[in-house]
Amino acid sequence: MGSACFQIERNEPDLDILQAEAKIKELRETIEKHNRLYHVEDNPQITDQEYDQLVRDLKSLEERFPELITPDSPTQRVGGEPLPFFVKVEHKTPMLSLGNAFGADDLRDFDRRVRQGLGNQTVRYVCELKIDGLAVSLRYENGLFVRGATRGDGSVGEDITQNLKTIRTIPLRLARPVTIEVRGEAYMSKQAFEKLNKERAEKGEALFANPRNSAAGSLRQLDPKIAASRQLDIFVYGIGEVEGERIESHSEGLNTLEELGFAVNKERRVFDDIEELISFVETWTEKRPTLPYEIDGMVIKVDSYAQQQELGFTAKSPRWATAYKFPAEEAVTQLIDIELSVGRTGVVTPTAILNPVSLAGTTVKRASLHNEDIIREKGLMIGDHVVVKKAGDIIPEIVNVLPERRTGEERPFEMPTECPDCGSELVRLEDEVALRCLNTDCPAIIREGLAHFVSRTAMNIEGLGEKVVAQLFAEGFIKSVADLYYLHDRREDLLKLERMGEKSVDNMLASIEASKDNSVERLIFGLGIRLVGAKAAKVLAEEFGHLDKIMEATEEQLIQIDEIGPKMADSIVAYFQLEQVKDLIEHFRQAGVNFEYKGLRVEAGADLPLSGKVAVVTGTLASMSRGEAEEKLTLLGAKVTGSVSKKTDLLVAGEKAGSKLEKAEKLGIKIMDEEAFLKLLETGEM
């Protein structure tokens, strides 16, 4: 249907600009129509292939006539280069948070306060699902989408327009040319969340804890192409302000939003009786696991705008609305066993094996116990009946034991004295609660160390997720991380492995080869030296410039560096004294792995605004990540550290700065808020 309509255009190279303009207009309208049918109304009328062909036709025409490209074209949903940082946006109408209700009695109290505030007028409420995502504001001028922003602190958010354009349920042009600002909740569906985490697991990347975090993280990516790959969605739930439209109630506003082309959640009802509303809320308490997206409660609003205005606001929230929070879902099940696993640093972690139980829409079979002390504190015994809940509705944990249900057949659990993987003696290091295996040849430590080495934050080798690493280790292809750089000699053998096709093998080998050129801090972090995280690895690389110099460094030299304390210095020196580590480094050298620091460096003696100054960044910055801020400070000549001391000259403090800000104030250190920091970056003047 769709593609056939424009067959002539694809074979017609001599279009003049007026003909092209007419065809582009028709294509855009057709694409947006089918986009809405598919994403908003769940009623697709053409195939994916036909839709893709329409987009290709439009893109081809726009490439021939670039002067006809407009911001609302479907081809502009993902475009442009990554942003350097997010710009702050002030909301004309504040995005206030809501008060909370935690049970039926709280809802009755809310109803009583509303009716008293209105002099016992007749009141109607609108009850909607509370989508668990990221609140955003969308502004349209004359029907065109011009800006989208995060809620931020309610008064000031961040401009994330380019990322929001990647969400196909956000119309770029409305059905009518109105000027309006709307509020909505951007979210990630359960299916998209599971797909994303599966892909991240295969790449050895850290998993997102829940759909809400993944949606928020996706929309705060500086590269819109990353946001586009995350399959986000949105429900619009309110109007901030509107010009030229007479709307008298919230329910009428929601209907208007649907008419304009927005996706508005269908699961909403209007009530004039609080008991009926409570019954509706309780129904969704049970039904919420059946939804394809996460909700964390219900929102109840007075329907009439006039009554909303009469009720007004408290200092923090509107008096005419409340958010009902679902109770944390808990279930009782039985502890069948406690399983032990060994991590890359040798830490032995116990995991509870549970009799499968349904919880928050999923079947829970395991729960983390963290360490031996947790088992003791909870008084856990094998066979106990326990209460389980999902922290944040995602991570299962054991809340408490039900000793009254014991039968006498339960048995205590004792942590082993030997490693469950290699049989070596387990030790508890000073000031630690964890038991460790210190055998560097332990298969579990090697396996986990390999997975860490190839991960995104370390050497960033694509195509080597945990399963692939485990397979290569089990088949004897790799026994240490250095063996990865000799796999190219065994390409034909790799092709014989299960799920190892030519393309995947060649891509993996190419990624391994490319990782040789990484700056050395990635290698240092990838080695998994105890107590040395990504930040400390970069500090070492910046300070010494070459891996050989780090290997030769003494404890005295190391503790002179602000970031390196005595324990870390001892760990670094001890690590590089091991003969197997020296052999490992030599294998890296022979394979051509880079040992030099390639990051930002400031020449000694350079006349820069912060030359000789020591700076620290703390808290959350709205316009950039902490890492980006640290790089900008480095370019200005500063030495950036992670802790505040008497040597610190400058602290850049974002929101929720915490203890570092308090310490800087006590020491009389110069403190810059984000506004002052941005001015410093612009002018170069303190």
What type of residue is 16? D
Residue with tokens 């994303």: 196
Say if residues 481 and 449 touch (Cβ distance below 8 Å). yes
Can you read off the two tokens belonging to residue 668? 């009389």
Say if residues 413 and 382 touch (Cβ distance below 8 Å). yes
How far apart are the C-alpha atoms of 408 and 406, rounded to whole Å? 6
Please identify which of the residues 25, 33, 88, 130 carries the catalytic annotation: 130
The partner residues of 350 in beta bridges, in order of sequence, read 340
415-443 burial, b at 16+ Cβ within 10 Å, e below that, comes to: eeeebebeebebeeeeeeebbbbebbebe
How far apart are the C-alpha atoms of 9 and 25, rounded to whole Å? 13
Active site residue 130: yes
Around Cβ 152, how many Cβ atoms within 10 Å? 19
How far apart are the C-alpha atoms of 425 and 551, rounded to whole Å? 28
The partner residues of 418 in beta bridges, in order of sequence, read 425
Using CA atoms, how far residue 461 sits from 184, 207, 225, 458, in Å, is 38, 17, 20, 8
Give the CA angle between residues 71, 77, 81 to the nearest 5°: 90
Using CA atoms, how far residue 63 sits from 35, 58, 71, in Å, is 22, 9, 14
71-109 burial, b at 16+ Cβ within 10 Å, e below that, comes to: ebbbbebbeeeebebbebbebeeebbebbebeebeebee
Pairing mode of beta strands 362-368, 395-401: unpaired
Alpha helices in 102-189 (DSSP H): 104-117, 161-164
Catalytic residues: 130
